[in-house]
Amino acid sequence: MTAPPLAQQAREATDAAAAVLRDHAPSGVAEIERVRGQAGSAPAVVVVGETKRGKSSLVNALLGSPGLSPVDAQVATAAYLLFRHGEQPSARAVFPTTEQPIPVDQLRQWATELDLLPDGQPPPRRIEVEFPAPLLTNLVLVDTPGVGGLVAAHGEVALAAVKEAAALLFVVDSSSPFSQPELEFLRRASESVDLVLFALTKIDAFRGWRQVLEDDQALLAQHAPRFAGAEFHPVSARLAEQAAALPDPALANLLRTESQIVPLQLALQARVAAKATALREANVLRAARTQLTLYGRELVANRSAIDPEPGRAEQLRARRDELTQHKRAGGRSFQVRLRAEIQRARLESMSDVQREVRDQIQYWRTAIDGADRAALDRLPADLDAVVHAMSMRQFEWMLGRLRRVTDNVLSDLFAPEEMAEVYAGFAHAPSLRPEVALPGKRQQNTEDKIVAVGGVIAGFGASRLVLMLPALAGGAAAVVALPVSLGLGLASAAWMIRSRRHVADKQHYRQWLVETLTEARAALEAEVAAQFVDAEQALTLALDEAIGRRVEALDREIRQIDEALKMDAAEKDKHRRDLNQRISAANSAAKQIDAVLPRLRASQGSGIGNIAAVASIAAAAVRDLPRPSGTRTEGGTR
């Protein structure tokens, strides 16, 4: 007999757990239904890869809209673009402290370093786009900055996006095999995401792409064996774009088939959408398993109360009185310990912020000293990426410290399966601060004017000296030398003024750097302080709840022992049989969950139901869709 689908087995296991809990633990059933009723958000597929690999072109091909995600070489900012489904195209830029709607046809202006933003407007942290692409019906697509882009911090931003992903789409092109930075990024990303697909782009431009594919697979087997059997999808975004522009349906379908975009769309729909369903079912199963564990512990305690060990009631009363006294005194000993742990973790986080900002100031001062004009122009965007990555890194370190505090203070009072809920209570997301203000234009001062005048005088002085030499040889030579000397004088003056301006600009940028990173440090320290204040409050409440819950459990067990002492042998035997039956039912339901949950976690969507529907959605994704006016599709990659 064929076993039912995995999703059905998961629902049956959840229903069995609810049936066991319904009569004696209705609060457990309510918790299961609460988790079951939560609407799951669409899973995110994060697209990552080195710059110039064709990431954004591939995103546009997957969405069926050439030019939607900005495609420009060497101009991608640290902002990433998040595409979700919407009936009408719309976009909004999200900044550290605010957000604002932007026209969809201006995505290139807001997401690239082309100096097209309004004066004084820093680049956004991310841009969220709603678009009516069929592919987005069941998932969210995230286009990240290149992991080997303008600054190393772009990789940190991309890695942070990957940590929130259900799947990773790693983009490499057909020109050459994996680079060492790509393999290193994959190693780090593998710690936080299970499902990874690979897209091998530009197969129309490189005839040797099959050899590159074999080399990539060999490198993965050697340096990242976990991905040795991962799916590779050879694609051509350029052919898909040409297909969308052709009026001849037959020729368009031919190019669309050659692009091989549809198989990749199918894979994303089948693997990721099904995985999202499995994740939702797994969350419900975990909630049911937790409630069964709590219920089972209560049943075992009740059974132990029927035939208590000698002195058990006295031990329980002493423990209850101790905890009650702590609760009446505000849990003083626990509070002192909690406050000390929180303060220690806070100081460590503050020290991390100060050390990292100090190191960044030293690094960027050196970078400014050796920078040319182009590097100075890129500096604000580079520093914005660094500050963004630094804030996310600090949040991760702080979160680890808060977990350590929680474990040290509450592990004796909370069951292991309850600790995750405690973690979620205090670790709210960072507010995306701090914001990097643009340096502004350097104001001309008296010294600049003096240098300019001096440069002109010196230049013409040099020209007069040059003019005197041929004058000694004769009048004709002097006439010829006159324009030459004037040109040399003007060039000398221009060089002196430009050199002085470059030196002054560097000084201006150094001052701006210190001010910006000082403000960033203040913002990060304020964020750290706020997080620890919230964490202390949350942990204090959790501590009070834990003590109160434990006191109630002790009171209940003491009452059961007192009642058991009044029972005769027949009553005890009947009560014991009832508890054993309930324990057996709870254990059976728990075993059913334990049998399904590991397979559900390992499931990556191979058993999605309606392949025809998925194929229809994926095939529709390459048809003509609304295309933002004013978008550009020139060469280069984001």
Cα separation of 112 and 628, whole Å?
Answer: 17
Q: Is residue 193 part of a domain?
A: yes
Which pLDDT score, from 0 to 100, does residue 561 have? 78
pLDDT in tens, 354-406: 888 888 888 888 888 888 877 777 777 677 767 777 777 777 788 788 788 87
- In this structure, the answer to whether residues 116 and 170 fall within a common structural domain is yes
| Element counts in the chain: helices (H) and strands (E) | 19, 9
Which has the minimum average pLDDT: 10-19, 421-430, 472-481, 575-584? 472-481
H-run or E-run covering 232: strand 232-234
Locus of tokens 């992991």: 147
Q: Tell me the residue range of the domain where 391 lies.
A: 308-565
Check which CATH number belongs to the domain holding 109 and give it. Answer: 3.40.50.300
- φ, ψ dihedrals at 383, nearest 5°: -65, -35
Closest CA to 237 of 211, 217, 264: 264
Give residue 593's pLDDT: 92
- pLDDT of 151 strictly over 50: no
- What span, in angstroms and rounded, lies between the C-alpha atoms of 487 and 632? 42
Q: What is the pLDDT at residue 637?
A: 44
96, 238: one domain: yes
570 located within any domain: no
Residue 148 lies in a domain: yes
Q: Are residues 93 and 187 in the same domain?
A: yes
| Domain tally, the chain | 2
Strand pairing category for 90-94 and 126-131: antiparallel
In a domain, 623, yes or no: no
If asked whether residues 246 and 312 sit together in one domain, one would say: no
Please report, for residues 143, 325, 326, 405, 553, the alpha-carbon distance to residue 548 in angstroms, rounded to integers and kept in the order given.
48, 11, 10, 20, 9
Q: In which band, very low, low, confident or very high, does the pLDDT at 439 lie, cut at 50, 70 and 90?
A: low
Percentage with pLDDT > 70 across the chain: 68
Is 297 inside any structural domain?
no
In a domain, 579, yes or no: no
Q: Check: CB of residue 150 under 8 Å from CB of residue 378.
A: yes
Q: Are residues 333 and 269 in the same domain?
A: no
- Residue 544: pLDDT over 80: no
* DSSP result, 522-571: HHHHHHHHHHHHHHHHHHHHHHHHHHHHHHHHHHHHHHHHHHHHH--HHH
CA distances 263 to 100, 210, 252, 390, 510, Å, are: 36, 17, 16, 38, 51
Cα dist. 535→339, 341, 398, 420, 581 in Å? Answer: 11, 11, 11, 14, 42
Same domain flag for 241 and 381 = no
pLDDT at 32 over 70: yes
Q: How far is CA 506 from CA 390, 445, 519, in A?
A: 24, 15, 20
Q: What is the mean pLDDT of residues 439-443?
A: 60
> Cα separation of 616 and 573, whole Å?
63
Report the pLDDT value the prediction gives residue 78, as an integer from 0 to 100: 54
List the structure tokens of 95.
């900044």
Residue 318 has pLDDT above 60, yes or no: yes
Phi, psi at 131, each rounded to 5°: -150, 140
Task: For residue range 447-479, list pLDDT tens digits in order.
Answer: 555 555 555 555 555 555 555 555 545 555 444
Is the domain of 317 the same as that of 268?
no
Tokens of 183: 């393999």
Classify residue 159: in a domain, yes or no. yes
The pLDDT value given to residue 73: 46
Query: What pLDDT is recorded for position 200?
Result: 92
pLDDT surpasses 60 at 116: no
Of the listed ranges 29-33, 312-316, 591-595, the least confidently predicted one is 312-316
d(CA 620, CA 50): 29
Per-residue pLDDT at 150 exceeds 70: no
User: Number of C-alpha atoms within 13 angstroms, CB side, residue 184?
Assistant: 9
Asked if 248 and 182 sit in the same domain, the reply is yes
Contact 171, 54 (CB under 8 A): yes
pLDDT score, position 274: 65
**338 domain residue, yes or no:** yes
Give me the pLDDT at residue 581, please: 92
Contacts of 549 (CB under 8 A, 6+ apart): none
Q: Which two tokens stand for residue 263?
A: 């198989």
Comparing 295 with 546, the larger pLDDT belongs to 295
> Are both 256 and 318 inside the same structural domain?
no
d(CA 225, CA 233): 19
Tell me, yes or no, whether 223 and 150 share the same domain: yes
Q: Are residues 401 and 331 in the same domain?
A: yes
If asked whether residues 264 and 324 sit together in one domain, one would say no
